Structure 1
């Protein structure tokens, strides 16, 4: 068993599965996944728009929108996909441009957002994904742009209604240039005005499209300045402003840091950051090129050191024991019990990507309690012995002391607990 192959499926992917052979050529296996993903089935914009407008007493009302079916399909791919790098890379960008179903309207649109605004662009140009995300109803609902009015617009009631700055602020601070870009509060206010009118259609009853709609009646008239650049009024001004931000050098630095922090270390080496940033800059924000650069970085092949999130750990354990479709519902429930419910980050910055976000004693105890309960069933029914499971999951990456402890465990159940909960299993 190749240590490098196990490293590839654990750090870059989601963990090994017993029904998926380890790659003979790990780098080639990773590069082969850098492609435009095939479209995924699911409710279309007409379905999502209709359901999002239903009232509690309307026929067909769905309290959670399309979330349950979209979540089961998404988690099924995490458990079963042979393309772990593609799925992990997609999850990274879903977290970078996150929405939360805590917000009104997102439960109906969230799966559609991840399937159509993020996933198709994960190996394309960042600016295309960025623009698709900013125009999607899930993002416009989540960050309140649907409630934004230009005070000088026809709908602004002579200044009584104002621009909502939430989307503009998070776009600058988190999604694009960050504070390193040197923007000021006046730039936040200006971007908010630029994006007034970016809204959601009300469907055929109003002769409006489902999904994005530019409402000119709410748009602040006149050209606007953003970080030293002037943008025209209208929808085209918003598109130009977002593309400007997506192409900014500080945005490329932000994206490089996101990638390196997720795949290499909480404090990634400066050389790795520089190469990723240079790749993004030279390619015009091509995320596929950034992925190829990442795979070629020697720093990405250093020993596993990243502490897995609750989701990463749960997925790796269930993949490791060969869970199939029957594992999807327990995984969905487990993420809630682990306080990392799917598509419900606590803030627009997304889920943490560093150890302090996941190493609280209570969080680690929840993992141990879950594995303890899981091991009771494994002891009775699992076809492998605990030492064989360690070999499957970590092989030559497992320290000798772990192998000895598992082999000497006083019972099968305790052996499985050690196999699934030793410190190395929490690293990727």
Structure 2
């Protein structure tokens, strides 16, 4: 691969039809950092759906109480996957208002996934969109909990995008204390064991009119330590998880009627309910944090953001995404050193990445994941008018719908997870359909522009032998150059 091709494809999402190939690849990437718009105009007309998450949770809570009172079973608040996985309709038997809310949630997810894809297709700063998606996957939230359909796009658009060139500490706090994360990892219902709320609840249970037990939930604390900051071998233990979970108690989402009068709004749509917070000081990773309400968890997050293990963990993931499944240790060390030197300045870290020789190696180093392959395909073909519904349908078909990763770890960033025979067949079938609806009179020239100095003789031969322009375009879309970066 030539440097212009690397700038277009390894750093970005490929050449957009009609785009001029950059003469200075490095300078073009710097220019994208300057041109990046965290709030593009395409988002201006998007409906703000943040309040709907609380509405559906309150609705499910009422339904659960009703079913419990009728001894007719329990509504599982975690079992929400409306019309996303096929098979029997999971909404059968639900009241009409609940059913309608689930259907609205599924439509919202489809629309937002299409919108996210369109931003990447039309972007003039595709490297920055790749960074948005990298960090969004790092702080992965999944629309598999009630209410999260309404929040996962808000998480990326309002918590991730504004901070991708900011400070990691700010990104960390915005991402993990966003309602989408608080919902996804059940933090919104975590209660301090000795909090006023829990004491009051225990008293009501003794009187025979309280609900079931509710207490400390360690999900968010554990995932912040393991997946977002230190890494699984980052030097923490179970005691640190528990203490951090206690510091996080009280952090919940806004819009829950039953606690609204007890909570204070926080940035990004979160809320803090002091009466659910575990009182007292905390000790995490050998540091003591005095009682400080909402500020106690914020102080822990600031220290985690600057921890040496975090620098190593973030550097490794970033190097893996841009320089190969087994990233060069020299690149990891350089990124780690810059993260620590700049105290987590992500703009400085990005410039260090761009200037590192390891990411400019001529051989392809990464297999394109389904999302990035589809974006690259639509950019090179010039197809930009697909509806959000069709875009999200295509992503589902090739196996990588945004915000539906199978675990809090996000979608895997290794070739083995995406290069199976069935997955490749789905790409071939989609490439054939896309080629039939795209201009195909200049395929060879378009291929040369999209992969300047990098189009192999093998691919040129196959394109030249194609029986038609449409067949040549379909072959280009599944060529090695399109599959790898």
Q: TM-score range by the shorter chain?
A: over 0.9
Q: What TM-score does the superposition give when structure 1 sets the normalisation length?
A: 0.92
Corresponding residue number in structure 2 for 1:311: 371
Corresponding residue number in structure 2 for 1:108: 150
User: Quick one: structure 1 residues 396 and 330, their matched pair in 2 at CA, closer, same or farther if it must change by over 3 Å?
Assistant: farther
Q: How many residues align?
A: 424
Contact between 2:121 and 2:375, CA under 8 Å: does it hold in 1?
yes
The alpha carbon displacement at 1:50 in A equals 4.0
Contact between 1:14 and 1:88, CA under 8 Å: does it hold in 2?
yes
1:162 to 215, 218, 229: 215
Q: For residues 146-177 of structure 1, give each alpha carbon's deviation from its aligned partner in whole angstroms, at most 9, with x where no partner exists.
A: 12111111122459532111101111111000
CA RMSD of aligned residues (A): 2.4
Corresponding residue number in structure 1 for 2:236: 183
Corresponding residue number in structure 2 for 1:326: 386
Moved over 6 A (4+): 43-46
The alpha carbon displacement at 1:339 in A equals 1.6
Counterparts of 2:436 and 2:220, CA distance in 1 = 48
1:345 to 386, 391, 405: 405
Structure 2 matches for 1:19-418, cutoff 5 A? 19-35=18-34, 37-40=37-40, 41=43, 47-50=49-52, 52-54=54-56, 55=59, 57=97, 61=101, 62-64=104-106, 66-157=108-199, 160-202=213-255, 206-207=260-261, 209=265, 211-233=269-291, 234-303=293-362, 304-326=364-386, 328-378=388-438, 382-418=439-475
Counterparts of 1:357 and 1:300, CA distance in 2 = 22
The alpha carbon displacement at 1:230 in A equals 0.9
Counterparts of 1:110 and 1:310, CA distance in 2 = 19
Q: Which runs of 5+ in 2 are unaligned?
A: 60-95, 204-212
Counterparts of 2:218 and 2:136, CA distance in 1 = 22
Corresponding residue number in structure 2 for 1:11: 10
Counterparts of 2:300 and 2:45, CA distance in 1 = 31
The alpha carbon displacement at 1:327 in A equals 6.2
Q: Which runs of 5+ in 1 are unaligned?
A: none
User: Quick one: structure 1 residues 409 and 58, their matched pair in 2 at CA, closer, same or farther if it must change by over 3 Å?
Assistant: closer
User: Quick one: structure 1 residues 34 and 412, their matched pair in 2 at CA, closer, same or farther if it must change by over 3 Å?
Assistant: closer
The alpha carbon displacement at 1:342 in A equals 1.4
Counterparts of 2:49 and 2:440, CA distance in 1 = 44
For residue 34 of structure 1, give the secondary structure of its aligned residue in structure 2: helix
Counterparts of 1:276 and 1:51, CA distance in 2 = 38
Counterparts of 1:78 and 1:174, CA distance in 2 = 25
Contact between 1:117 and 1:132, CA under 8 Å: does it hold in 2?
yes
Counterparts of 2:117 and 2:48, CA distance in 1 = 24
The alpha carbon displacement at 1:328 in A equals 4.8
The alpha carbon displacement at 1:244 in A equals 0.8
For residue 325 of structure 1, give the secondary structure of its aligned residue in structure 2: coil
For residue 351 of structure 1, give the secondary structure of its aligned residue in structure 2: coil
Q: For residues 172-200 of structure 1, give each alpha carbon's deviation from its aligned partner in whole angstroms, at most 9, with x where no partner exists.
A: 11100012321111111111111011111
Counterparts of 1:18 and 1:46, CA distance in 2 = 32
User: Quick one: structure 1 residues 148 and 45, their matched pair in 2 at CA, closer, same or farther if it must change by over 3 Å?
Assistant: farther
Contact between 1:48 and 1:66, CA under 8 Å: does it hold in 2?
no
Counterparts of 1:187 and 1:59, CA distance in 2 = 41
The alpha carbon displacement at 1:396 in A equals 1.9
Q: For residues 244-303 of structure 1, give each alpha carbon's deviation from its aligned partner in whole angstroms, at most 9, with x where no partner exists.
A: 111101101111111111111111111111111111100000111010001001111112
User: Quick one: structure 1 residues 117 and 229, their matched pair in 2 at CA, closer, same or farther if it must change by over 3 Å?
Assistant: same
